[in-house]
Amino acid sequence: DAYIFSSLVGGLEISQVVDPLVTVKNAVPKEYLSDPF
């Protein structure tokens, strides 16, 4: 379920590229997350 959710609403971005390290983040907009309080 998490994989499908991430691929539908997440935005994959490359944060940095340092040889040989590549950092990638997946951002999810707040409106798709439940309020914990």
Structure confidence by residue, pLDDT tens digits, 19-35: 888 898 988 888 888 87
Phi first, then psi, for residue 8 (nearest 5°) are -80, -45
Residue 37 pLDDT greater than 80, yes or no: no
pLDDT band at 7 (very low <50, low <70, confident <90, very high): confident
| Residue reference for tokens 């950092």 | 23
pLDDT band at 6 (very low <50, low <70, confident <90, very high): confident
pLDDT for the residue 32? 86
State how far the Cα of 33 lies from the Cα of 22, in Å rounded to an integer: 27
pLDDT for the residue 3? 85
